[in-house]
Amino acid sequence: MKTSSISKFYEKSLEERLKILAEFASLTPEEVSNLQKLALDFDTANRMIENVVGTTQLPFGVATNFIVNGREILVPMTIEEPSVVAAASKAAGLARASGGFQASSDDPIMIGQIQLVNVADTAQAAKKIMEKKNEIMDFANQQDKVLVSFGGGVKDLDVRVLKHDGKEMLVVHLYVDVRDAMGANAINTMSEAVAPMLENLSGGKVRLRIISNLAVRRLARAKAVWKKEEIGEDVVEGVIDAYNFAAADPYRAATHNKGIMNGIDSVVIATGNDWRAIEAGAHSYAAMKEEGKYKPLTKYYKDGNGDLVGEIELPMAIGLVGGATKTHPIAKIAVKILGVKTAKELAEIIASVGLAQNFAAIRALSTEGIQRGHMRLHSKNIAVLAGAVGDEIDAVAKVISDEKKVNVARAKEVLDEIRKKK
Ligand code: MEV
């Protein structure tokens, strides 16, 4: 049976890793070779943005051990920071005893905002707009018949009266089911299309017509139970203490949420999605969970058995159609590795990775600290800087990290000693 629990994946050679991955995700030889070479050619890159002169590469790894809603999953992660992939894999491994992650998500409803200024009577204008709600929604839906044919389109509309600096404005919200898209294009097109109607009805002037990244109607959630026998009672208590710290203090909540985003952004980037949109949504949601406070996006508590329960909830505006997901060759492979068919499924996996990443970070922070693990990985870079090659890298790295002397000078001494013994 297919499993994401692959023993010592990190110790395997590149060839072995690729063989396992190719089998797991039925990758073609071309996809496997694309993973290793520069997979973004100039023409593709030049179509993606303007003034292209090159491309930036980042490591693409896979986290092991994930089970999400009963399905074994290898998670592609694109990130420059050491330890993130290892930590996610570790946390997912520790959750396997209780079946991994249970995740769910809302329908993919995004919000389009249309701002109207210089409205003489905002209450009256809001009433007029609401009376014509169905006509406005119909007109918006005519802009994207394909989306409507797939069951998407505008589902609701409302009007808000906002005030700033002594001035009132009307803001119309279009609630659009964007199906498997991130949704920005559909939303912005519809918002621009209905703007003249709204101008007429309100007697005001249209200003902004744009998506809101605070996608509160498109939340993804995940939950996992870490058994006390698996992680130890001190870790159960430690993680809850860490959560309480984040819940009580925005300075800590910012870092707590940053750890969550290490996992989330990695998958969002690997799959070619807009990580700035996800970041904006996550942090604005964290700031609105409780009036006037910035809160952690996860929570932890003990269940009746004394096991640790972790939960996450955040907006997840990601897509599988449009954008780089379909044009970037590596993003296409990432989606194939995940085996997802809908944006909802992808959102649920991403939420699970965010929870896993956070658990791993606060588990380490509340017990031994993260520096030992970080240094173990960092020591390999230092060994290379000291001139180690091949087997020497691991040998030097082990000595300097065991000695807690992770610096180039000591790495050079150790390397000399190893070479003398050869
Ligand atoms: C580092 O990238 C992320 C952490 O700081 C997260 C946290 O403190 O929870 C380790």
Alpha helices in 181-232 (DSSP H): 184-202, 228-231
> Across the beta sheet with 308-315, what order do the strands follow?
71-78, 60-68, 101-105, 219-226, 308-315, 298-302
Please give the Cα distance from 166 to 182 (Å, whole number). 35
Q: 140 CA to middle of ligand 1, Å? A: 43
Q: Which atom from ligand 1 is nearest to the alpha carbon of 242?
A: 9
Tokens 């570790």, residue located: 90
Q: Using CA positions, which residue lies closest to atom 1 of ligand 1?
A: 259
Give the burial class of 335: count Cβ atoms within 10 A of its Cβ; 0-12 exposed, 13-18 middle, 19 or more buried: buried
Q: Which atom from ligand 1 is nearest to the alpha carbon of 358?
A: 9
pLDDT digits (tens, 9 = 90+) for 360-379: 999 999 998 877 777 777 89
Mutate to test the pocket of ligand 1, among 256, 357, 363, 368 (most ligand atoms within 8 A of CB): 256
pLDDT digits (tens, 9 = 90+) for 29-43: 999 998 887 667 888
Q: How far is CA 161 from CA 67, 110, 125, in A?
A: 45, 20, 10
Pair of tokens at residue 91? 């946390």
- Yes or no: say if 369 and 249 are a contact pair by the CB < 8 Å rule: no
Query: What local confidence, expressed as pLDDT, does residue 201 receive?
Result: 98
Q: 404 pLDDT band (50/70/90 cuts)? A: confident
Give catalytic residues, as residue numbers: 81, 258, 274, 374
Q: 373 CA to middle of ligand 1, Å? A: 13
Alpha helices in 219-249 (DSSP H): 228-231, 233-248
Query: What local confidence, expressed as pLDDT, does residue 291 receive?
Result: 84
Residue 400's Cβ-side half-sphere holds a number of Cα atoms within 13 Å equal to 32
Q: Using CA positions, which residue lies closest to atom 4 of ligand 1?
A: 259
Q: Which residues line ligand 1 (CB under 6 A)?
A: 81, 255-256, 258-259, 262, 361-362, 365, 370
pTM of the model: 0.92
pLDDT digits (tens, 9 = 90+) for 102-137: 999 999 999 999 999 999 999 999 999 999 999 999
- Yes or no: say if 144 and 153 are a contact pair by the CB < 8 Å rule: yes
Pair of tokens at residue 32? 């496997």
Please give the Cα distance from 314 to 106 (Å, whole number). 11
Query: What local confidence, expressed as pLDDT, does residue 90 receive?
Result: 97
Q: 357 CA to middle of ligand 1, Å? A: 9
Q: Using CA positions, which residue lies closest to atom 3 of ligand 1?
A: 259
- Write phi, then psi, for 141 (nearest 5 degrees): -65, -25
Q: If you average pLDDT over residues 386-392, what whole number do you get?
A: 92
Query: What local confidence, expressed as pLDDT, does residue 38 receive?
Result: 61
Please give the Cα distance from 226 to 362 (Å, whole number). 13
Q: 233 CA to middle of ligand 1, Å? A: 22
Give the burial class of 166: count Cβ atoms within 10 A of its Cβ; 0-12 exposed, 13-18 middle, 19 or more buried: exposed
Angle at 317 between CA 314 and CA 318, to 5 degrees: 120
Tokens 């920005």, residue located: 184
Average pLDDT, the chain: 95
pLDDT digits (tens, 9 = 90+) for 26-79: 999 999 998 887 667 888 888 888 998 888 889 999 999 999 999 999 999 999
Q: Using CA positions, which residue lies closest to atom 6 of ligand 1?
A: 259
Mutate to test the pocket of ligand 1, among 365, 367, 377 (most ligand atoms within 8 A of CB): 365
